[in-house]
């Protein structure tokens, strides 16, 4: 495998997490305007993308290979939780 192939392989491994995080951040900003008024879309995207990436890596470590529905479920959960916490955490 060439270095360029390795880069494409890693980019395609993490692409679902970042695409779903972008869609979920946009949906959060659209559906819960009042709750997410002070939050930047990019901040929701960053936290969701990092969480989703960690979820994919954890699923790969536990399940042995990627592409299983349980892995994608873990990815979705690890994208949703940081975005939920940012939008709906108890205010001081």
Dihedral sign from CA coordinates of 73, 58, 51, 15: negative
Q: Residues near 25 by Cβ (< 8 Å), separated by ≥ 6? A: 41, 44, 45, 48, 83
| Out of 6-10, 51-55, 78-82, 87-91, least confident range | 87-91
Q: Is the pLDDT of residue 10 over 70?
A: yes
Average pLDDT, the chain: 92
Instruction: Please compute the mean of the pLDDT values over residues 27-39 and round it to a whole number.
Output: 89
| 5 or 89, which is more confident | 5
What single DSSP character describes residue 68? Answer: -
Q: What is the pTM of this model?
A: 0.88
Determine the average pLDDT of the residues in 14-38.
93
């Amino acid at each position: 495998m060439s270095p360029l192939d390795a880069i494409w392989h890693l980019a395609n491994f993490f692409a679902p997490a970042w695409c779903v995080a972008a869609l979920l951040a946009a949906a959060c900003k659209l559906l819960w305007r009042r709750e997410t008024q002070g939050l930047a879309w990019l901040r929701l995207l960053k936290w969701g993308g990092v969480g989703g990436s960690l979820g994919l890596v954890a699923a790969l470590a536990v399940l042995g290979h990627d592409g299983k529905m349980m892995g994608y479920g873990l990815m979705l959960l690890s994208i949703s939780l940081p975005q939920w916490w940012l939008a709906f955490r108890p205010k001081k």
